Amino acid sequence: MLTRKLEPEVMDTREEACDYDSMNHEAVNRRFVDDFIEFFSEIPLKARLIDALMPLSVLDVGTGTAQIPIELCRRPVTCQVTAIDLASEMLKLAELNIARADVVRRIQVELIDAKQMPYANRSFDAVISNSIVHHIPEPRAVFVEMARVLSVGGVLFVRDLLRPNTTAEVNQLVATYAGQENAHSQQMFQDSLQAALTLSEVRELAREINLPESAVRQTTDRHWTLSGLLF
């Protein structure tokens, strides 16, 4: 198993933000939103909220350029999304993307550190996060904060990269999923894979917020997903 190699917590240069935003994340984003809605809809006490008149309050942690919230707002789901990130350059592009998608009234962007969120306890019906955990040197604080701001019985849905066992596996994944990108984008993806967590590491974090190990599973050749209800 490869040793975890940390990358910068905040991707906050214009080049990093533009390269990230230009990469083709469409299929991954659609799959994330599909899976989140499916999980939410399968919960008897939650499914009725999908079509409710009262907007579902959703927090997107580490929103980047807001591609996930925009994809969510394209679906027939009544929701109000708070999208947070610690990278101001990412959020500048997020605001442009939100305006282009004409969902300004449904997505609120905020510059927030996920390890110390200013929101009150039990503020959101759902907390989602895609590919932020590998950026955090000590991600326990983020998991604790996500659990704190969830409403009673709230849905936590987190997905991130899975650290490969070998350098050869890293190289294969980069070639497969970033082979058509520029050299900087390829390097970012490689760094992210090496900074990612293993299933056992994520399961330990899940236990600390009172979720069972079964809430964490590998869902693609390069991703793990944590999905569960917090009480």
| Domain of residue 93, residue span | 14-162+198-230
Tens digits of per-residue pLDDT, 97-143? 999 999 999 999 999 999 999 999 999 999 999 999 999 999 999 99
- What CATH number corresponds to the domain at position 57? 3.40.50.150
| φ, ψ of residue 86 in degrees (nearest 5) | -100, 0
Structure pTM?
0.92
16, pLDDT greater than 90: no
The pLDDT-based confidence of 7 (bands split at 50, 70, 90) is confident
Q: Per the structure block, which two tokens stand in for 70?
A: 């925009």
Q: Per the structure block, which two tokens stand in for 41?
A: 């809809």
The pLDDT-based confidence of 231 (bands split at 50, 70, 90) is confident
1: in domain: no
Measure Cα distances from 128 to 13, 18, 34, 72, 82 in Å.
24, 23, 13, 11, 10
Mean of the per-residue pLDDT values of the chain = 91
State the total domains in the chain.
1
Q: How many CB atoms lie within 10 A of CB 24?
A: 12
Q: What is the mean pLDDT of residues 214-225?
A: 97
203, pLDDT greater than 90: yes
Is 137 in contact with 5 (CB distance < 8 Å)?
A: no
213: in domain: yes
Judge residue 219's burial from the number of C-beta atoms within 10 Å of its C-beta, 0-12 exposed, 13-18 middle, 19 or more buried. middle
Question: pLDDT value at position 92?
Answer: 93
134: in domain: yes
Is 178 in contact with 186 (CB distance < 8 Å)?
A: yes
